[in-house]
Structure 1
Amino acid sequence: MAEILGIVSGSITLLDTAYKALECFIDAYNAPKEQLKLLAEMSTVRPMLVELERRVQANPSSPILAQMKEPLKTFKTSMAQLTEKLSEGQTLPLQKRLTWSWIKKEAGTYLNEFERIKSSISIWLSMYTGDVVQTGHQAQEQQFSRIRAQINDANSEHQKADRDHHNEHALQHRQLESILNQTNDAHREQQQDNAVAMHDQIMRWITPLNFFQRQELIFETQQTGTGEWLLADTQFQNWLSSSGEVLWCRGIPGAGKTVLASMVVHHLRAQKNNTGVAGIYLDHKNTEAQTIRDLFASLWQQLAVDKPIPAAVAKLHNHHRKRGTKPSLDEVLEILRSAIAECSKVYFVVDALDEYPELQRDIFLEHLSAAMEGAAVNLLLTSRPHITLHPYFPNTPPLEIRANEGDLYQFVDEYIRKSRNLSKHVGARPELREEIRTKIVSNSDGMFLVPKLHLDYLNEKKTVKALRDALQQSPKGLTNLYDQAMERIRSDENEDNRNVARLALIWVANAKRLLSVAEIQEALAVEHGARFLDPDSIWDIADVIAVCAGLIIEETPHVRLVHPTTQEYLDSIQTSQFPDAHAIIASTCFTYLSFDCFSSLRLVPLYRWQAKSLVVHNPLLAYAPYCLIHASGEPELVLYDEIEKFLAHAPQWRQFWSNFRNLHFPPWNYRHWPSLPSPLWIAAASNLPKVFLQLFADSEDPTTHGGPDMLFVAADCGHLDMVRLLVSDLDVPSCDRSKALWPAAYRGHEPVVKLLLEHGAQPDIIGDFGETALHAAASEGHISIIDTLSRHGADVNATTPRGVTALMEASDRGNVAVVRRLIEYDADINQLNLDPESEHANALQAAAQKGNLEVVRLLVENGADVNLQGGPYGTALHAAWDGGQDGNFRFLLANGADVNVVGSAGTILHVLCSTRQEHPLFPMLEELVSLLIKKGANVDIGGRHGTPLGCASFYGRDRLCRILIENGADVHRRWKDDDGIGCNAVWLAERRGHAACVRLLKDKIQSTREGKSQL
């Protein structure tokens, strides 16, 4: 007994030690899910061990003890190993901790051990209860034998002992029940936690964008009482109460459009009904992350965030999770349509449409218009006045946004109230409030931005006199205000302030994406040539913002320029004020990546959780991949030595950065990185022509560049300067200009396409992906490139090895503009694809099956043969039905489609009568069958599976059977099935157990016989 107690007691001690060590480890290193599970299991096992210890002490002679010894010893050994490993981990230096892999690989082993010991303890506790009962009964019998003569006197004692025993047994049962309940509760909580974790995981997987946070940050900037005029506006109220309407709020820069958009989102979300609300805030600095796919994924995310994950989305997540991929745009649009359908009404708010690049904007609006079609979706857009919504939302009257005078006064009052300095001055001189209000509002030009910049300047003044002087000298116009802010920075007497302000403006204005607070802090602290980052050099972010004269603001977790116009201003003075901006950023990144603490990364690959942990502790690592983009161009020769040094280690850095799956720019996003690329190949892939020339001149054998065709890579990435260099007289091996044409056309790099064609590229060469450049441009919708290729003699009817033309490709994609342009270039609309493996036999079949009615109409209007046969579908009508395209199906019927053409599955009537319930058009099956009959469909025509009536009987469609019979279908018609067995409709219905069909058919047969007998 003593040995068992020692093992149990020791296990509890080790468990406590391991729990504390693991808890510290998790706090330090953002542990993954397995480690969190370990903590939960430890919390569950400990009370069970304590209860077992108590039971052993209470009944030390139980025969169950022998069964416990070995399993408990094994568990104690495991706990000793776990404690030892955790103790080792805590003493390791930082770099070794990051490469310490046991906790990821072995967590599962310890979790299994916890499950095993929990199961064993539960059994032992249950057996212990039974053992105690049995032992009690034996002692009782012995006592009765010894004192049977004195039974009457001992009766009272027996009753008392029985009651005590019963109470003990009940207590033990309650304790065991309590432990089991705790275990069950823990299990249920774990399941709930797992469900919540999966929900959150899918939400983050669908898109990294978080517009909830952006909405909150923007709405917090709204001054109380401002913007209410919009909610009361008649045009807004009409939009609010209507369905399927668009409200376009346009206004000059700085008029407060973004804050108004956030106010609308807040107002709509406060309605508390089955209304879906989603807001998008476009940002020119975040275009790389705000892809079209991610924008629509965010709309779905906002509609679905408070609901259980739909089965279709869970299935989609599981499919992509296994492959490490994200859903396609089409898949996102499909789940978005489903989410819209679940809401009684949906409101989408899209802010700053003008900040999205024009090409992406058109595609975004096109898909947005399609998503609204036939749905109860209202859309509010904000933008500057210069953009157009045509042709996606034509005839949309704008609601002009301009800073309301009352709102401006309210804005100034709120600013003064929140400013300690201005409040002090106004308190000392009450008349000063009205002076500030009048002057600033009169200079506002209908913008909130102007008063803000004025007030930021006034807020710096330490005396009333200085404030009044500044107020009288306040310049008019944004540009003058920005000039004034820059002059304040340059005239700062503190040199450190001037330097930090200049660097901060360089970084924030020229960064390729939004920077986090931690990133800008580290970037400003990096000293050129240093081997480590001195933590004592890091500025507080509030101090950084304070020295930038109001041009930079913090929006946690990011820093940004105060307004898009600030970016335009800084761009305009870049050449004179910041000519070395990109060289400074690139050099800072190169210095940072050369720090001694990162040297081991070149030797030891990290797990993803280790890499993420390293970035958490070294934030600038997340931005450093942009170093080569900033180095390209003028900085190349200035930074040549730094670039050359970095290129030698670039493959290792790419391996590290690949852990984050968000590198959407060259050279890191190129899919076909060679295993051992040379610096020469990386320079070509990174658009470093000056560096390339120097490396090429120094290379003993430039053919050993360690990668695929460098011209192909440069063309794929759209590096015009690099392509120009590679197609020049420079004798660079393995540069096939014709093959490079395909990736350039596919990616939409028109200048590169023109350059390659001018230097002899052949437009009809089949590339490595089995297509010509024209196919590539058509599939991706690049009309200008189609024009360029056609002018250089591209064959518009050229086919791939699989028989596909560019017109078939464009029709399949549903791109109306491309189809129209190819028709203008004399594309053969009725060209057949004779490849038996091809999905579609011609362009019309592709368009009909995929669903773009406008493309179908365009092809038919330009001579497409609606009855042209070929491929697995046979005709376009069959293809339209297969795709569930009701509009296309009816259009083809109305334009001469032959309903009696026999394909591999029979006529179209056979196909409809064989349709399963999952088909999108199943609910309108009876209507469409009747329509086919009206169009002349033969109800008794034979096919591979008999007559249409036979097909309907086989699938139990009694209402279809009735329609066919009423329209003359022969219930006696017989045929042979695939096995040569003779059958008819009633035989099939009986065989399949469709009683309703059997009754209907037999009644018809009987009535037919009776009719004949009467004759």
Structure 2
Amino acid sequence: MSGFEIIGAVAAAEQFAEVLFKTIKLAKSVADQFQDGPNQIQQKIECLESLASLAKQIQNTKSLQTEDIGKILTRCEWHVQSLQDLLQKISFNCHDSIQKKTWRAIAGLKQEANISKLFDNLDHEYNSLNTHINLRILAITGDIQTGYNSIDTKLNSIAQATNPSPDSLKCLQALFITDPATDRAKLINSKGELVQGTCDWIAQKKEFIEWRASDGGLLWISGGPGLGKTMLSIYLVSYLSSCFLSTDDGKTHYSTYFFCDANDNTRNNAVAIIRGILFQLLEQNKELIGHILPSYEIQREQLFSHNSFETVWKFFLTMVNDLGDSQATCIIDGLDECEPISLELLLKNLKKITSTSPRLKIIVLSREYPRIFGASLGQFPRIRLDPDAKTEVNRGLEQYISTRVAELSESKQYTTQLANHVKECLMEKSAGTYLWVSFTVKDLQTMEMSEVEESLNQFPRGLDALYERILQQIESTQRGLILDILRWCTFAVRPLSLSELAAILGIKQTGLLDGVTILRGKLAYCGHFLSITDDTVTLVHHSAYDFLTRQIPTCEAMPWFSLSNVELEQSQLASACISHFCDLCYEYKDALRVQVWEDRRKLSNTYPFFDYASWQWTEHFKYSGERGDKILTEHPKLFSDKSDILDLWMELINARRLTRTTGLFWWKPYHNEVLFSGQAELAANYGLTALMERVLKKEGSWRYLKALFAQAPGSPHLQIAAEKGHVPILEMLLKNKARINSKDSLGRTALHCAATQGHLPAVTILVENGARIDCETKDEGTALDAAVERGHYETVHYLLTCGANVNGGKTATAKTSPLMKAIRWNRPELVKLLLEWGADDRLGTKDFEYYFAPKLRAFIEYFAEKFCITPSHFRDEIDFGKTTALHLACIRGDLAAIRTLLDPKWSLDVNRQDGYGNTALHLAACGGKLQAMRLLLMNPSVDPSLINHWGLSPFHMALFHCQSHVVEYLYMTRNWDIPPPEPNEKCRLDAIHIAILGGFSHKSVRKMLVCLVVQFGVDPELRTPRANCLDNKWHSHHLPRRGDEYERSPADLAPEDFCYETPLSLAIQRGLLRTVEFFLGYCNIDPNAPCRGCDGATPLHVAAQSLREEVVRDLIMKWNANVNCLDDHQRTPLHLVVSALAHYRSSKGMRNSRLDSRNAIIRDLIRANAQTSAMDANGCTPRDLFVSNKSFETGWRNTDRGDEFDRLIRL
């Protein structure tokens, strides 16, 4: 029994907190004693304090006092106790002798490895504990259900909550980018628990009260850095959730939120924001996935790509609008940290949110800049934290300061007078910013009580002043290195790890310390300016970036830490990357060759910065502006006309691009095809204007370039630059007479490439310079077609205004027109735009197929609006032959389209049957679209008793496809009995038989049988009708009658295929082993009793004749079936298996497989003592039947076949 189980959750947390408090105090003491001692103590005290915060949280939160968390606390306590013991060995008193202090110092160095190991263990336990707490918090607030232990569990739960389509889980995995609930929990742990009373004021603000009382709308809360916007967002999430829980209106409330972070690529763009919100909506209503699946089935992972904002935004609106009377709220925090281009797209759509989604309530929290915020959100109600809510913010800040000072007083034993003085100073100098208070409190935690008063006097007022004080206090001898650190943390393409940063800074390991440990010590000079999370270094806050890059007035002296000249800083980083890469390439040229990929991977591990330098130098070069020429001059090794290093780099980048495409590890290329072949192509791909300019200025290179344009298919450099959207490169090439309308091997021009990616500036430049708008490719049509397929609205609109043919090129048909592509790819906004520009909407029946209608909402809504006066015209337009739009909408589960079609004003025939006799209700039942069925059954005109060409009603189609949730709904909610099929010659099977014959998997059949037998009481031994056989003999009992493999088609339910058989017999013939065990085990059916009426065959007879090897073995070994039992014709199972192949008519490969199964079953029966001499009613033994079976091994003499049988039974 664990310690947690013995002493209880609260006691475990209290005991751990007590030990931890003593250890933290001791660690700080040791850190003060050893100024140059174990750096791990200096760096890891904060980790211990974080653990203490978690322990306190567990003490005060009953729901966190679980067994799993208790076990982690027990392990943590053991590690902390061990750490305390080690620290006591190296600690000394200030009055101790020099000799004792020296020995203690030596002991400290010896124990450094052990201390480091313990801190690593505590780091691991902290992450584990943090994860458990996050999940418990999320479960309590309703963000996830209790018991979820991982993101995979979440995804599986959502995918399986509705119809378990194979694509559901894949779709969710492709959609998932980050879990906002986990991000919120991490913020709480990093910033600390909310102080009660700091954010309550928001609920009393007039703007908020009006927003909450409204049916929908947007509220903008703005404020400068450090004013507590993120903590306010955290509070609002909890507050609104509690408000929803306390209402008794009977409506469902959907709460969503997202926390942006400029340093996290999964949280700093509009697509990521909407994907995170969609994930939360699906957690709360699993059936909403039906809005995404149809498009995912076609586009797959491309559906959620970085440039698919229009698509995910459309999903967002559709899902929110499909919630009916339910209320949905959304909180977006830190929207100003979103990428500029992406931010513009999101704000443009938020501007019209009240018309596109009138019942959605949104709160946006951000700074007041960039200016686009005011232009887009200025029309909405707004709360300015300063000055509109300055009084309330200051009051909340005062409460926050009081709480933090009270905690300091308790831990540091402040006097009342000192505590009051600290509180007053913090309030006076904070300038209303929480961030300033947070930094200052952390500093005070490291000070003795005697140092507090003097330190408070030295603290500057305001956040920028505090940043300046932190940096100005750095010694002049350290400033060069610190400036390099700040430069990398500010402008790196992605956050750098400690090992990468140490490598590029040239920090070498010493005899006792590695480079990362030394770097941690250097980072301590930066104080609160930098943050280290998971061994990754970033600026502590976006305000730190603003402070470093702010423009300094010319009348002021330039601070040593200023990074205001962005081009200069980027050029320095580019040069550093190039130098690092070139040096390693020169030294390890052979190891870097593609053929020696194992050595290359080892090199990458040995030199951590190599990967970043290799792949990101181009990004820094691109932003170097006019200083690009200097980079070219400084690095002739890379940019000379015949550079081996550049050739090697191209080889590396080509290998990486190829293996990314094929999904392989990038160090191991798929093949050696060269994708880059020169400096011009390199410059065009990465937007290196300085390099392209130098290439074009060289007469020899330009002659080569012109020859390339004239001979090669297309203008490759122009097309590459267009595809990447590098406008300066395009202008440069066009100025030098590049062939603007030349085509590549696929028939694409530069305009096609730009339109495909939606680069409107590039499209504009090309059109203005004479690009032919309606030029067609071999397969993809015109540039307009390409833009429509990718959903680039602005590009489509611009091309139309420039005269693009709205119906596509000369070869376009109704099936390949831009309008049809917009419908196919579910682009409703583009459908409307194209129709407004006069697109031909005459879509013939033969051209409109299932494949081209993944979702019909856009098309249907257009016709509903166009023909609202003449509904009969509307009906004719959307009925495509026997398959109507309602059929297609039910196949896809498009609830919005179904609602539109069921409107009585259209007078549609809701019982229209397609070519197979299926109504829309049949198809909804087949696919398990329960919500669609509910909508249909609410319409009194829908007839649920209609049967299709196989004699099956919608209920039986649900049975055949094993949609157990549909069957349960119809049986239990609507009180439907399980009806037998209508008496006809096509199907006379009962429900249990249909379920066994139709299920697509063992699991689905078993689940359906449990529903029928256990819940509804269906007889598990109910038999099929008798076959019409004149001689009462039936020898071809297998499924189906047309071949070996059962295809799960209702056409195979013909009555002549079955002869008074039990469900067990059918399950055996299909090889459903788990279903067979269900009948024999749960239903207690005798394994030796006849299960087929025409010949009295037992389960073992049926399994042997059907060549179901696993079932035969299971019946013999587990259920003790009699291997010598006889049917009505005196045949044993051995008689049936030796002649079984006479009835199978398959391909040669399938016959060989059947032959192997037959031989294996013969051997199993012989091992179980089957009698080889037993004779049937015709006097034949199994050997006689084996010899006379001529349907398979043709060409064998009978003596050879007899020897083969003898050989089998001997084995």
Same fold at TM > 0.5: yes
Cα distance per residue 1:825-884 (max 9 Å; x no partner): 233445664345x7333x44444555555544444444455558899349xxx9898566
Cα distance per residue 1:537-592 (max 9 Å; x no partner): 33267644431142113344543223212112223422689968516852795499
Please show how residues 868-879 of structure 1 align to structure 2 within 5 Å.
872-873=847-848
Cα distance per residue 1:881-937 (max 9 Å; x no partner): 85663312213435999949999x986787458758415568977985998978xx9
- Residues 751 and 783 of structure 2 are in contact (CA less than 8 Å); yes or no, is this contact kept in structure 1? yes
Q: Indicate the residue corresponding to 1:410 in structure 2.
A: 399
Q: Indicate the residue corresponding to 1:378 in structure 2.
A: 361
Unaligned ranges ≥5, structure 2: 1-148, 158-168, 246-251, 551-561, 622-627, 924-945, 955-980, 983-1211
- Which residue identity does 2:764 align to in structure 1? D
Q: Indicate the residue corresponding to 2:672 in structure 1.
A: 675
Q: Indicate the residue corresponding to 1:485 in structure 2.
A: 470
Tell me if 1:354 matches 2:336. yes
Cα distance per residue 1:294-337 (max 9 Å; x no partner): 44433344455699999989999998999999878488678867
- Which residue identity does 1:440 align to in structure 2? K
Q: Indicate the residue corresponding to 1:840 in structure 2.
A: 816
TM-score (norm 2): 0.49
- Residues 840 and 872 of structure 1 are in contact (CA less than 8 Å); yes or no, is this contact kept in structure 2? no
Q: 1:991 to 1:763 in 2, by over 3 A?
A: same
- Which residue identity does 1:501 align to in structure 2? I
Residue 350 of structure 1 aligns to a residue whose secondary structure is strand
Q: Indicate the residue corresponding to 1:264 in structure 2.
A: 236
Task: Provide the C-alpha distance between the structure 2 equivalents of 1:283 and 1:194, rounded to a whole number of angstroms.
Answer: 20
Please show how residues 418-437 of structure 1 align to structure 2 within 5 Å.
429=418, 432-437=421-426
- Worse-superposed segment, 367-376 or 755-764: 367-376
Residue 226 of structure 2 aligns to a residue whose secondary structure is coil
Deviation at 1:449, TM superposition (A): 3.6
TM-score (norm 1): 0.57
- Residues 606 and 656 of structure 1 are in contact (CA less than 8 Å); yes or no, is this contact kept in structure 2? no
Q: Indicate the residue corresponding to 2:507 in structure 1.
A: 526
Q: 1:511 to 1:562 in 2, by over 3 A?
A: same
Please show how residues 163-202 of structure 1 align to structure 2 within 5 Å.
196=153, 199=156
- Residues 277 and 348 of structure 1 are in contact (CA less than 8 Å); yes or no, is this contact kept in structure 2? yes
- Which residue identity does 2:491 align to in structure 1? N
Q: 1:240 to 1:671 in 2, by over 3 A?
A: farther
Alignment partner of 1:822 out of 785, 794, 799:
799
Task: Provide the C-alpha distance between the structure 2 equivalents of 1:262 and 1:205, rounded to a whole number of angstroms.
Answer: 27
Q: Indicate the residue corresponding to 1:749 in structure 2.
A: 726
Identity score, percent = 18
Residue 489 of structure 1 aligns to a residue whose secondary structure is coil
Task: Provide the C-alpha distance between the structure 1 equivalents of 2:901 and 2:565, rounded to a whole number of angstroms.
Answer: 71
Deviation at 1:224, TM superposition (A): 1.6
Task: Provide the C-alpha distance between the structure 1 equivalents of 2:685 and 2:402, rounded to a whole number of angstroms.
Answer: 55
Task: Provide the C-alpha distance between the structure 2 equivalents of 1:860 and 1:339, rounded to a whole number of angstroms.
Answer: 25
Q: Indicate the residue corresponding to 2:532 in structure 1.
A: 554
Task: Provide the C-alpha distance between the structure 2 equivalents of 1:862 and 1:835, rounded to a whole number of angstroms.
Answer: 17
Task: Provide the C-alpha distance between the structure 1 equivalents of 2:507 and 2:873, rounded to a whole number of angstroms.
Answer: 75
Deviation at 1:636, TM superposition (A): 5.3
Alignment partner of 2:201 out of 204, 229, 232:
229
Q: Indicate the residue corresponding to 1:509 in structure 2.
A: 490
Task: Provide the C-alpha distance between the structure 2 equivalents of 1:830 and 1:923, rounded to a whole number of angstroms.
Answer: 27
Q: Indicate the residue corresponding to 1:563 in structure 2.
A: 541
Q: Indicate the residue corresponding to 1:246 in structure 2.
A: 218
Task: Provide the C-alpha distance between the structure 1 equivalents of 2:513 and 2:398, rounded to a whole number of angstroms.
Answer: 44
- Residues 590 and 627 of structure 1 are in contact (CA less than 8 Å); yes or no, is this contact kept in structure 2? no
Task: Provide the C-alpha distance between the structure 2 equivalents of 1:820 and 1:321, rounded to a whole number of angstroms.
Answer: 23
Cα distance per residue 1:593-620 (max 9 Å; x no partner): 6799999676876799x96x99899865
Please show how residues 343-742 of structure 1 align to structure 2 within 5 Å.
345-365=327-347, 373-374=356-357, 377-386=360-369, 387-388=371-372, 395-402=379-386, 404-416=393-405, 429=418, 432-441=421-430, 444=431, 446-452=432-438, 467-468=453-454, 475-476=460-461, 478-491=463-476, 495=477, 498=479, 500-517=481-498, 519-520=500-501, 526-527=507-508, 535-539=513-517, 543-556=521-534, 558-572=536-550, 573-574=562-563, 582=573, 586=577, 590=581, 620=609, 623-626=612-615, 628-629=617-618, 632=621, 633=628, 634-635=630-631, 637-638=633-634, 647=646, 650=649, 675=672, 707-708=676-677, 710-732=679-701, 733-734=704-705, 735-736=708-709, 738-742=715-719
Q: Indicate the residue corresponding to 1:774 in structure 2.
A: 751
Alignment partner of 1:918 out of 891, 903, 917:
891
Q: 1:570 to 1:826 in 2, by over 3 A?
A: same
Task: Provide the C-alpha distance between the structure 1 equivalents of 2:947 and 2:859, rounded to a whole number of angstroms.
Answer: 29
Residue 220 of structure 2 aligns to a residue whose secondary structure is strand
Residue 235 of structure 2 aligns to a residue whose secondary structure is helix
Deviation at 1:488, TM superposition (A): 0.8
Please show how residues 91-170 of structure 1 align to structure 2 within 5 Å.
none
Task: Provide the C-alpha distance between the structure 2 equivalents of 1:521 and 1:869, rounded to a whole number of angstroms.
Answer: 66
Q: Indicate the residue corresponding to 1:55 in structure 2.
A: none
Task: Provide the C-alpha distance between the structure 2 equivalents of 1:300 and 1:426, rounded to a whole number of angstroms.
Answer: 52
Cα distance per residue 1:264-310 (max 9 Å; x no partner): 33545677967554443333333487455444433344455699999
Deviation at 1:256, TM superposition (A): 2.0
- Which residue identity does 1:760 align to in structure 2? K
Task: Provide the C-alpha distance between the structure 1 equivalents of 2:815 and 2:479, rounded to a whole number of angstroms.
Answer: 66
- Residues 784 and 799 of structure 2 are in contact (CA less than 8 Å); yes or no, is this contact kept in structure 1? yes
Q: 1:850 to 1:662 in 2, by over 3 A?
A: closer
Residue 700 of structure 2 aligns to a residue whose secondary structure is coil
Task: Provide the C-alpha distance between the structure 1 equivalents of 2:456 and 2:591, rounded to a whole number of angstroms.
Answer: 58
Task: Provide the C-alpha distance between the structure 2 equivalents of 1:640 and 1:751, rounded to a whole number of angstroms.
Answer: 24
Task: Provide the C-alpha distance between the structure 1 equivalents of 2:607 and 2:528, rounded to a whole number of angstroms.
Answer: 28
Q: Indicate the residue corresponding to 1:1012 in structure 2.
A: none
- Which residue identity does 1:893 align to in structure 2? F
Task: Provide the C-alpha distance between the structure 1 equivalents of 2:615 and 2:845, rounded to a whole number of angstroms.
Answer: 51
Q: 1:501 to 1:912 in 2, by over 3 A?
A: closer
Deviation at 1:397, TM superposition (A): 1.8
Equivalenced residue count is: 720
Residue 550 of structure 1 aligns to a residue whose secondary structure is helix
Cα distance per residue 1:15-44 (max 9 Å; x no partner): xxxxxxxxxxxxxxxxxxxxxxxxxxxxxx
Task: Provide the C-alpha distance between the structure 1 equivalents of 2:589 and 2:417, rounded to a whole number of angstroms.
Answer: 57
Q: 1:283 to 1:451 in 2, by over 3 A?
A: same
Residue 697 of structure 2 aligns to a residue whose secondary structure is coil
Q: Indicate the residue corresponding to 2:769 in structure 1.
A: 792
Q: Indicate the residue corresponding to 1:693 in structure 2.
A: none
- Which residue identity does 2:467 align to in structure 1? Y
Task: Provide the C-alpha distance between the structure 2 equivalents of 1:929 and 1:310, rounded to a whole number of angstroms.
Answer: 20
Task: Provide the C-alpha distance between the structure 2 equivalents of 1:268 and 1:508, rounded to a whole number of angstroms.
Answer: 37
Residue 834 of structure 1 aligns to a residue whose secondary structure is coil
Residue 566 of structure 1 aligns to a residue whose secondary structure is helix
Q: 1:409 to 1:389 in 2, by over 3 A?
A: closer
Please show how residues 867-906 of structure 1 align to structure 2 within 5 Å.
867=842, 872-873=847-848, 885-893=859-867, 899=873
Cα distance per residue 1:50-86 (max 9 Å; x no partner): xxxxxxxxxxxxxxxxxxxxxxxxxxxxxxxxxxxxx
Please show how residues 855-1004 of structure 1 align to structure 2 within 5 Å.
855-864=830-839, 866-867=841-842, 872-873=847-848, 885-893=859-867, 899=873, 911-912=884-885, 917-920=890-893, 928=901, 954-956=917-919, 993=951
